[in-house]
Structure 1
Amino acid sequence: MSDPTPAEPPVVIKTVDNGPYQVKGPVKIVDHENNTYELGPGRTRLLCRCGLSAKKPYCDGSHAREGFSAAERAGEKTAE
């Protein structure tokens, strides 16, 4: 009997109150020019949610300097 294939770690996207999206990999980010950025297992990136970052799609902290406010919750809760 062979060992089962290990499961891929889950991708987690978390909204940070008044801040960015926190994305934990493995994921591939593709920009509008089709450039790809790999985010391996266990790696975390912060993606801009306020639209003010000079490093889009990544967060550079502009949300804090400009007073960005967003604390919405997901509409449908899932079992964890």
Structure 2
Amino acid sequence: MSQPTRAANQPYVVDVEAGKTYFWCACGLSARQPFCDGSHKASGFEPVAFKAEKSEKKFFCGCKVSQKVPFCDGSHNR
């Protein structure tokens, strides 16, 4: 599998809603970052589903190399 495209050099801060499912873009090609818009087709990547248990701020990975996907772990600083 190839490397994903780095969409940003920082996390995307998103206010998630309890009970809602989000699909994080793993390929970095989506125009709707940090979420999937279907651009991954034929890229070898698949979006990562996340269902919010409560309404809160979440920090979604923008560099696409976090070890804690779909969330930022600071990998963009390395």
Larger radius of gyration: 1
Q: Which has the higher contact order (CA 8 A, sep 6+)?
A: 2
